[in-house]
Structure 1
């Protein structure tokens, strides 16, 4: 154990002292936020300010084009198609919509012209505007008022409640799905990131011949175990720093834009206005204030949704840490065995595919099955098998309803799977760590497992 600890200490300290580790630990939460926020921001920027000119030959809109929105506006042009095309080529508009004379019973013949490929969102907005206008025309012809029809529609808000042996608990499918994806994504990323570090670390020691000196005093199995545990501690340290920094950033932002603070500021402004004039009744909110109110309402709704979800936070956090560590140790041993078996990155591809495929498959299947039917047979079996349970089980837990025996069985199987893969990797490691310049295949690996000594 002393030798394992020495290897553990060396692996841990050599990595946490690197500038790359410190920088990633500090900016990791910001990069995570940017990963989700930037695509949305770019999408909004690319979809803003679209202008569509309408050549309404069939008089479908009767001179009343759809109202302009933030991302699209409609402008009338001459109903003559040839002239409309000529004017469109000279203008800077984004699209030209041509509407021929229509039979409301069987509408068709619509054309949209653009200089380049028409974006999906713009095409969808144009299609929606035309379809809505045809519906309005049909309603008018049938003697039905659109306003009356809209009043008949109902927007029902469902309150979901889970029934269990412990009693009734409120739940939220959206919140549970978000938490499930976050937990599964973190485990998926960390296993890949730090598993590859183990593989590359073993390969570097092997190719530089340092390992020949090291194993003169340390057994190959002890060296591999210390390396796996040391890099696991690095992963836990970085995860803890990310959590602490995320909580700190969220707390600072919550204080600066908290609903209470905004209400106090608004009350003070209203009081000042009232003292100067008793007739001011019109709201003077600036666009910035309106945007802040909107953001605050979104934050308040998210907070209320998290509280209403009534998640078993201690169970989720505890199981997340267990599967985070168990999944990493399970796959870390396999990555270490790959690093011992090969000499360069090119040879790793044939061995990495069968190791990483269960992880990728679980994450892909989670989007179609685990979050839509978390207690189905596929989800249950995937949360039991050690190859897939680190991601599958943590994605089932936020939805509730996981029996205690399934959770216990999954944990036991994962521990047994880690012990088996460590033994298996150790058999490969003790032979492959001193094997140079030889192309290794699966048949050769199977022989290494049964070498004596």
Structure 2
């Protein structure tokens, strides 16, 4: 056990000291924080330059309907231009709105021309104002007294609030969107970590075997001890990097929140600085996210994330190590990689399809099968998985990890000292049958 500890320390210290680890550890939180803060900041910046839109109305009816604001100024044009592409209007104005006919009879009679792709805000502004006018005109045609008021009163938007109740009857506001985002993000991170660090184990074994360093190491430690030390050491590297990402992202996001809004990002849910002013869509969405987080047990999510990260990684890393020990160079690993990568890719796609139905048969069974559970279970956890399912999934994963480690150790023990020959599946089966 002491020898395994030495190998773990060696793997951990050498990889943590690498420039690539340091750069990615500190660069990634900056990118994560930028993904959170930059859209929030940019959404609050308004374009002060007014854009002029020429309105060519063949009916002389709809040009007066469009109301200008600080951002868009609608200018009626008397000139009846049929071909906007050859007109000077396209150069004098940001866009040209051509209305060729009665919108009551033909809802497609309005066309917006521009040399640049117009933004969705302009398109929605024009569509909304014209739609309201046409709707009112159609209502007037019924000649029913107070019909507009009746329609306005009948028009209702239903906002459904989801409340989560605990066993004691206490309630918390939740959000299925927030739960889906957390599940999807956790799934992607697990998938990425298993693949990335599992391949690192394989490459490390191949490199040591190619350089003949392993021959010196094997003279002092057993092959199984070497394999376990390498797997656990790289697992600790990944766990360290993940925890640093979380801490640094929170720190950078809160610093940016104070710099941009005068409050920490965690206080945006209360709207201390934003409620008095008009909040943008991104700011409202951010506050909705924080409110939805209150109904999710983040401690449980993080705890299971760490377990499934370690469990999934240890399961697949032992297989990657076995592949690395069986070949002499990285090119030869391709023929043995396929049986390992297919379950990982299947688990990832199963998780994607399980997002919409986290309690469906696909999600249920894949969250229990050990080769897919580390990835798929993370999709289901924000939606309150029954305890017995969690325990069964954890137990099966632990048992399978022990089994794959034992099998991989038998391949590793023989393959690590084999040179100059490409092993076949038949020969690797013989290695499994060798007795100690």
TM-score normalised by the shorter chain: which range applies?
A: 0.7 to 0.9
Deviation at 1:198, TM superposition (A): 1.2
CA distance, structure 2, for counterparts of residue 80 and residue 421 of structure 1: 78
Partner of 1:408 in structure 2? 391
1:292–1:113 Cα change, 3 Å: closer
Which residue of 2 is the match for residue 159 of structure 1? 161
Contact between 1:180 and 1:398, CA under 8 Å: does it hold in 2? yes
Q: Which residue of 1 aligns with 2:239?
A: 236
Matched, 1:324 2:309: yes
Aligned to 2:270: none
For 1:377, the equivalent position in structure 2 comes to 361
Structure 2 portions without partners, runs of 5+: 268-272
Q: Do the aligned partners of residues 66 and 356 (structure 1) sit closer, same or farther apart at CA in structure 2, a change above 3 Å counting? A: farther
| Partner of residue 351, structure 2 | 366
Q: Distance in 1 between matches of 2:342 and 2:122?
A: 37
Superposed CA deviations along residues 380-401 of structure 1, whole A, max 9, x for unmatched, are 112101122112222212221x
User: Aligned pair 1:428/2:415, yes or no?
Assistant: no
CA–CA separation in structure 2 for the residues paired with 1:218 and 1:10: 14
Residue 13 of structure 1: how far off its partner (Å): 0.9
Mapped pair 1:16 → 2:19:
no
Tell me the distance in 2 between the aligned counterparts of 1:88 and 1:431: 80
CA contact (8 A) 1:95 1:112 kept: yes
Matches within 5 A, 1:220-369: 220-252=223-255, 257-258=262-263, 290=277, 302-307=289-294, 309=295, 311-369=296-354
RMSD: 4.1
* Distance change in 2, residues 1:255/1:90 (3 Å): closer
* Stretch deviating more after TM superposition (219-228 or 34-43): 34-43
State how 1:183-222 maps to structure 2 within 5 Å.
Answer: 183-222=186-225
CA spacing shift, 1:297–1:258, aligned 2, 3 Å:
farther
Seen in structure 2, the aligned counterparts of structure 1 residues 113 and 450 have a Cα distance that, compared at 3 Å, is farther
Task: Please say which of residues 152-161 and 127-136 is displaced more in the overlay.
Answer: 127-136
Whole-Å Cα distance in 2 between the matches of residues 363 and 336 of structure 1?
22
| Aligned equivalent of 1:399 | 383
Q: Partners in 1 of 2:199 and 2:370 — Cα distance?
A: 19
Figure out how many residues of one structure are paired with residues of the other and give that number. 421
Cα deviation, 1:133-167, whole Å, max 9, x if unaligned, reads: 54454334345766764443333443323456564
Structure 2 CA distance for partners of 1:136 and 1:443, relative to 1, 3 Å:
farther
Residues 33 and 249 in structure 2, CA contact (< 8 A), matched pair in contact too: no
TM-score (norm 2): 0.79
Alpha-carbon deviation of 1:349?
4.2
Partner of 1:55, secondary structure, is strand
Does residue 1:450 correspond to 2:428, yes or no?
no
For 1:91, what is the secondary structure of its paired residue?
helix
Q: Partner of 2:163: helix, strand, or coil?
A: strand
